[in-house]
Amino acid sequence: MISPKAIESFQQIHTPFYYYDLDLLRATLKEYTSHTSKHGYNAHFALKANADERVVSLIRDAGLGADCVSGNEVKLAVKYGFDPKKIVYAGVGKSDREIKDALKAGIFSFNCESVPEIKIINDFAKSMGKVANISLRINPDIDAHTHKYISTGLKENKFGISPWAFEDVYELFKTLKNIKLQGLHFHIGSQITELGVFKTMCTRIEELQKWFIDRNIAIENINCGGGLGIDYNDPDANPIPDFKNYFDIISKNLIVRPGQHVHFEPGRAIVGQCGSLITRVLYVKIGKEKKFVILDAGMNDLIRPALYQAHHGIQNLTSNKRKLIYDVVGPVCESSDCFGSKILLPTTERGDLVALRSAGAYGQVMAMKYNQRDLAKAYYSDDLLK
Ligand code: LLP
């Protein structure tokens, strides 16, 4: 819920901008960590979802580590004060420099996605006189029932090592002295709302880890990745995801062996609902068949609708007049710069403030300067509601 006081404060700010409700973030973290601590699970925040320093600092202070997918994310995590022993690093294309930097930083785990990558990490670790901790990111071939662009665990996806390559990996381990296999990693997709998918994942994890256990390879860590979805349709009814149900499913279905540690990499579920993109109406264009609300925020500020046909709640913050149907679009010269069609909104006029809700994850981090537009700044409830 965006409070009337917050809306009043928005009037003074140059739009568009990202607004973060840090109290909601705190409440989300409290709920999340109550479950992880109950089960003794470890969590690493997926920095790709949001890299804003104020947002990430609260997450770090709540005790989460960082899940990174590039060398620069690893550097940022170190700069933000995450303990390197809580940093995990995945990615199908880690460059030489990125590997060397992460080795220097002494991260907890390289989550390796191919056989050649393991060899290269071993070579660099050897030349630096180190032993790299690695986990195998396994492609479990599971349908996450989500948008195809954010599905990662199917065999046709580029991510992870497929079970048919296990023999090669096993042979390789016998020869490599500068890597230590310390875990298995799974991440099957994002915005997963059918929780049964996580049950299937647990069953598959058990099947797959047996292959290693049968060969006397101890698996100290199981990383279940991220992926839990949020309610984009009704953020005010469900501001905090159903962590209880999620962790109940995992704890009931994941077989954890003595001495094993379980890890998670939540992104969207932690930060999605605390962020909104606040924008102003530039024009209302009345066509023959449609009425267009033209915002001063575009797909360069929030690309999810254009890229994944994603729906973000659209809320006119300053009008409560009779409701009409509009197409809500941005100013960028692309037809896909559209935030929603046939949207029921109070009668909207130039100057009204509009919120694009649930934009805390994969919003600001995916912004770009297309059309030479400025990058939207961030503002925080802690400052605006003082
Ligand atoms: N771990 C790994 C290895 C990942 O690749 C991701 C996300 C996560 C964890 C965090 O997943 P989450 O809990 O946020 O679902 N830009 C897209 C989402 C891409 C997700 C990429 N990987 C979107 O806007 O929907």
pLDDT digits (tens, 9 = 90+) for 112-133: 999 999 999 999 999 999 999 9
Please give the average per-residue pLDDT across 215-234, as a whole number: 97
pLDDT band at 159 (very low <50, low <70, confident <90, very high): confident
* pLDDT over 80 (residue 109): yes
Distance 92 CA to ligand 1 centre (A): 14
Domain 65-265 sits in CATH at 3.20.20.10
Top mutation candidate among 184, 187, 270, 358 for ligand 1, by most atoms within 8 Å of CB: 187
- How many residues are listed for the chain in this entry? 386
My answer on whether omega of the bond before 163 falls inside 30° of 0, hence cis, is: no
Distance 227 CA to ligand 1 centre (A): 6
pLDDT band at 147 (very low <50, low <70, confident <90, very high): confident
Cut 0.85: pTM above it = yes
Among residues 256, 257, 357, which one has the least CA distance to residue 316? 357
Top mutation candidate among 268, 271, 301, 303 for ligand 1, by most atoms within 8 Å of CB: 268
Show me where the domains of the chain are located.
4-17+273-384, 65-265
Q: What is the pLDDT of residue 33?
A: 98
* pLDDT over 90 (residue 152): no
Q: Is the CB of 226 under 6 A from ligand 1?
A: yes
Q: Angle at CA 40, nearest 5°, toward 38 and 45?
A: 100
Please give the average per-residue pLDDT across 64-88, as a whole number: 98
Please give the average per-residue pLDDT across 126-148, as a whole number: 91
User: For residue 256, what are its two tokens?
Assistant: 């954890």
Report yes or no: 184 and 219 within 8 Å, Cβ to Cβ. yes
* pLDDT over 90 (residue 155): no
pLDDT tens, position by position, 287-321: 899 999 999 999 999 999 999 999 999 999 999 99
pLDDT band at 156 (very low <50, low <70, confident <90, very high): confident
Top mutation candidate among 44, 48, 246 for ligand 1, by most atoms within 8 Å of CB: 48
Q: Is the CB of 191 under 6 A from ligand 1?
A: yes
Q: Do domains 4-17+273-384 and 65-265 have the same CATH topology?
A: no
Determine the Cα–Cα distance for residues 217 and 150; give it in Å rounded to an integer: 32
Report yes or no: 298 and 332 within 8 Å, Cβ to Cβ. yes
Q: Is the CB of 113 under 6 A from ligand 1?
A: no
Q: Is the CB of 264 under 6 A from ligand 1?
A: no
Distance 49 CA to ligand 1 centre (A): 7
What is the average pLDDT score of the chain? 96
pLDDT tens, position by position, 169-210: 999 999 999 999 999 999 999 999 999 999 999 999 999 999
Q: Is the CB of 67 under 6 A from ligand 1?
A: yes
- Residue bearing the CA closest to ligand 1, atom 8: 226
Backbone phi and psi for residue 147, each to the nearest 5 degrees, phi listed first: -60, 140
Atom of ligand 1 nearest to the CA of 190: 15
Report yes or no: 274 and 360 within 8 Å, Cβ to Cβ. yes
Report yes or no: 54 and 380 within 8 Å, Cβ to Cβ. yes
Domain 4-17+273-384 sits in CATH at 2.40.37.10
Per the model's pLDDT, the better-predicted residue between 7 and 173 turns out to be 7
Distance 333 CA to ligand 1 centre (A): 28
DSSP conformation class of 86: G
CA atoms within 13 A of residue 189's CA, in its CB half-sphere: 26
